[in-house]
Structure 1
Amino acid sequence: MLQSIFVIALFLANPSSSIVLHGYKAVNPAWNITLDLTIVKNSTADNVLIEMQGPTDRWFGIGFGANQMSGTYAITSTGSTGVITERKLGNHEQGTTLQSSVTVLSNVNNGNGFRTVKLSRSVQGPSSNYYTFPTSATSINLICARGDSSGATTLAFHGDSNHHNGVQISLQFFVLFWFCFCFVLFCFVFEAAVHTYKRITKKKKKKKVAH
């Protein structure tokens, strides 16, 4: 629901030139780390909605646009409350913390051992340390990692068995959104036409009665 409202609001800002892309990927199904991306770009708006899911009992993170850690932009969730941090990763190390460019829309412990975080930020990264998201249908390379054991909520070395690379998320034009938007528009126009027809018919009947 939140994603739909986000997309529709940005679309209505400038519908004539909007680009809407969407993709979903189970980055690591065994760990239930997933990623959902929605990208909207037009002349007045430039946003990406990022929805990440991962474990609550340890830290987790996803890196964008690369197959290795060094120099990669990543978003991590740490601590018992899922503190969101953006980082430029180092060579097999946590790298440097970046100034936040994301807005946290929601951060929910689902109660089943997993957390869902919804973020928004500009498509364009504020500097070369950040990932700039595409605005055309394509695939993005991803890496992910998690804490090496339950209770490892502080960002630290993940060990050899708790990282994953060679994953891609495919971004496609958000066909479902366009279908829904056109359907709603059709219903609105149809209802207006029916209302107008009934009003005209009612006036004609009144004229006949008057004669």
Structure 2
Amino acid sequence: MRLISIVVGIATLAGAITLPRDYVEGTYMVTHDDAGNEVHTRVGGPIAPREQDGAAVEASPQDMAKQGNDGYYAFCFCSHKLNTGDADAAVADLKSQFPQDKHYDGAPNYYSIRGSVVAYACNVKGKIFVKNATPLLIAQMLEKVSNQCGRYVGGWGMFTEGALEDPWPAHFGYMNYKPGLNFCREGTNILQSKC
């Protein structure tokens, strides 16, 4: 119960990042101007080729005995069956924004859109990360999501190095795109830990 209360509290802090109705595939950084309006800046075009023809695959749920035994926590959007090629490409594009030596500094949120899938990194507290958010860390986080939710099923995760009361400020995840989607809020309000 305490975990749910903490996660709900964190989720309410998530920024109101709303995807534009019309977009160009690629990776974006979201900041706010002086008036508080969202500014979506395209920081990279698509880098990863789509490997598959775009067929959605069914979930193959994995049963995990315990959440968080390794510091990673994952939650599932069991109704979000993702297009395999779009999901792989969106995740690869997102990871490209976090090189080995770059801290995710707490100011912007990032997302990558490929076809029907958005992959995202939302900073819900506006704090600086304790350690580097690298492609390896993102891969480990999203692997936890896949292991708990099933391959190519939407979900999100967070990491904590200590007490759950003080998790990292960022959440990483992926889900189906829809016009007007607020992925930082909608993407962290789901608390189902397996499908």
Q: TM-score range by the shorter chain?
A: under 0.3
Looking at CA atoms only, which structure, 1 or 2, has the larger radius of gyration?
A: 1
Structure 2 length-normalised TM: 0.24
* Higher normalized contact order (CA 8 Å, seq sep 6+, divided by chain length): 2
